[in-house]
Amino acid sequence: MRFDALDQWLAWMERLHPSEIDLGLERVRQVAKAMDLPAFSGNLVVVAGTNGKGSCVHALQELLRASGSTVATYTSPHIERYNERVCFDGSAASDAELCDAFARVDSARGSTSLTYFEFGTLAALYLIQRRNPDYAILEVGLGGRLDAVNIVDADLAIITSIDIDHESWLGNTRELIAHEKGGILRAGIDFVCADEDPPVNLDQLAHSLGVNARWINRDFSCDRSVVCCEGKKIAFGACTLPRNAVAAALQGYYLLCDKPLPEAALAEVLDGLTLPGRMERTTIMGVEWIFDVAHNPAAARNLAAELRHAGDKGLTAIFTLMADKDSVGVIEAMVSVVSHWVCTQIDGMTRCAGAESLRETLVHKFGIPENAAESEELGRAVASALDRVRTCKQPKVLVFGSFYLVAAIKSLLVAQEFKREQVS
């Protein structure tokens, strides 16, 4: 084995390939063949979409588990620990399991170079094959057609949404993006689409492949409180996840299960579904923190709508994005609910947008007053936000944007809370 510790493997994997993203299936298929992957007897579900993928995976996992099935999930990116990416019945894979899987991939790849994501995808498929659950739900990393996850042939394909993001790799129109995401479809399989206005070319592709399609607002529907699916009405309860993504999961569940649970039992599963970084609320040091990984305009619009519905406005926000994201579109969606901005950046991450650049966009593009837009390093951003909310009427801080930001701020807060408890 090349390394004994998970952190060593991950650090090495980050440097293995010359580029972070290198779409294409030839290299990953070559290594998968050497590993005899994927040879899996259960049902495979592949979930693609601009937003809502992780929420859909989580909801479908919980629905299937409630029905007595064993379920594996592969998602990305993670919030706190890499282990979150590979779960079995809701429990993260151990360091030892992941190290063993990485060693197996490393042995099989020979001289083939793999990206961090490709390496992790093959490791996840290896672990899933060994566990052999009833269902494996795999989240696409980027796009679909050329994403490493697409070496598998899904029994059920789900597309949660189609919006503009990752233009450099997927194109700058919804039609081009739909073409990429539609690449997860296979002839004759079940397909669920939760995008309310899917491009025509996706409908045409589904028809040409003869898939058994279910389209939101044609075959199933949802509002804030209820999803209507297969002639049933299931209440969402206090679920905080994106409704369309959860509705897609429920429709997928009906397609997968021969004997679905009664409506009341399904409603109980949906009631209170939560996921880290998706309208996640927690109280730390007497302040309510709201975490959300909305990092493109469509996700930001949904976040703003959810905050308005909850009565949250005039918020103090800690905010950053990766430099390739549409910062103008994200800010435009959020100015109605944020009154004070603390822009920051992730130390040592060259992909991250500069804090001062984001602040200048707020001031010069959107006319935010100079005293309502700060530019701070990460640790100071937390202190600045806390100073502000403790002197105003609304002791809430919104942390949103990059997955990396949510992870970093949560880690800082946990450390500060622990230090505070030790002192007291």
**pLDDT digit string (tens) for 275-291?**
999 999 999 988 999 99
Q: What percent of the chain has pLDDT over 70?
A: 98
| pLDDT for res 420 | 54
Domain check: are 214 and 313 in the same one? no
Q: Quick check: 393 pLDDT over 80?
A: no
Assess if residue 341 is contained within a domain: yes
Q: Is the pLDDT of residue 421 over 60?
A: no
Which domain-ending residue is among 247, 270, 293?
Answer: 270
State whether 26 and 151 are in the same domain.
yes
**pLDDT at 164 (0 to 100):** 85
Opening angle at CA 302, ends 297 and 306, nearest 5: 145
Contacting residues for 7 by C-beta, under 8 A, at least 6 apart: none
Give 40's pLDDT tier (boundaries 50, 70, 90).
Answer: confident
Confidence tier at 423 by pLDDT (50, 70, 90)? very low
Give the confidence band of 422 by pLDDT, cuts at 50, 70, 90: very low
Dist CA 48 CA 62 (whole Å): 18
Model pLDDT for residues 182-213, shown as the tens digit of each residue: 999 999 999 999 999 999 999 999 999 999 99
Segments in 171-284 forming alpha helices (H): 174-181, 200-209, 243-256, 263-270
pLDDT band with cut points at 50, 70 and 90 for residue 243:
very high
Residue listed under structure tokens 């996706």: 202
Pick the last residue of a domain from 270, 301, 328: 270
| CB contact at 8 A, 51 and 163 | yes
**Residues of the domain holding 219:** 6-270
Looking at the structure of the chain, the number of domains it has is 2
Q: Is pLDDT above 80 for 169?
A: no
Query: Domain ends where: 270, 294, 328?
Result: 270
pLDDT in tens, 80-123: 999 999 999 999 999 999 999 999 999 999 999 999 999 999 99
Q: Is residue 1 part of a domain?
A: no
CATH at 102: 3.40.1190.10
Our measurement of the distance from residue 306's CA atom to the centroid of its chain's CA atoms, rounded to an integer in Å, reads: 17
Predicted confidence band at 417 (pLDDT cuts at 50, 70, 90)? Answer: low
- Reported as a pLDDT band with limits 50, 70 and 90, residue 170 is confident
Could you tell me the pTM of the whole model? 0.94
How do residues 45-69 score in pLDDT, each as one tens digit? Answer: 999 999 999 999 999 999 999 999 9
Could you tell me if 288 and 264 lie in one domain? no
